[in-house]
């Protein structure tokens, strides 16, 4: 996974679900990388929904936008970033296990590596959807 920015983030793991995502990444200015990622993906998704005339979804995204936001019509991503510094190898393993277990906990798959939108397969030696740096 490479964020859309002038700087690249090193990605160690991710999982994408229907209503949220988790990722583990490192970058000199991670906050700017995440902001760039969110702006780029929100714009692409909203443009796609508009082309598809997905009015119900667009209405929900319009409703999600805070009343004080004057610079946009829709809000796709939740405001802010919930970053947590990973301090050691044990914590890294715990975080990777946690994010990879999300689809299993929701009952979508029996094994983490079976979830297509996750880096769990990368950690099992298979190719995932996105390139990561295996820890």
Give me 99's structure tokens: 């994010």
In this structure, the dihedral spanned by the alpha carbons of residues 121, 122, 125 and 129, taken in order and rounded to 10 degrees, is 80
Q: What is the pLDDT of residues 87-100, one digit of tens each?
A: 999 999 999 999 99
Domain boundaries in the chain?
Answer: 10-123
Contact yes or no for 14/99 (Cβ under 8 A): yes
| pLDDT on residue 20 | 86
What pLDDT shows up at residue 106? 96
d(CA 11, CA 119): 10
82: pLDDT strictly greater than 50? yes
Q: Quick one: which of 31, 39, 37 has its CA closest to 72?
A: 39
**Cα separation, 65 vs 4, whole angstroms:** 23
- 29-52: pLDDT as tens digits: 998 888 898 999 999 999 999 999
Taking the model in full, what pTM does it have?
A: 0.80
- Residue 69 confidence (pLDDT): 76
């Amino acid at each position: 996974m490479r964020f859309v920015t002038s700087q690249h983030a090193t990605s160690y793991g991710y999982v994408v679900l229907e209503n949220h995502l988790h990722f583990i990444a490192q970058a000199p200015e991670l906050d700017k990388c995440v902001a760039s990622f969110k702006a780029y993906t929100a714009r692409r998704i909203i443009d796609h929904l508009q082309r598809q005339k997905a009015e119900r979804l667009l209405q929900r995204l319009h409703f999600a936008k805070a009343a004080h936001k004057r610079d946009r019509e829709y809000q796709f991503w939740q405001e802010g970033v919930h970053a947590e510094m990973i301090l050691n190898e044990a914590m890294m393993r715990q975080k990777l296990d946690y994010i990879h277990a999300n689809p299993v906990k929701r009952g979508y798959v029996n094994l983490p590596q079976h979830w297509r939108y996750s880096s769990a397969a990368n950690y099992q030696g298979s190719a995932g959807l996105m390139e990561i740096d295996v820890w």
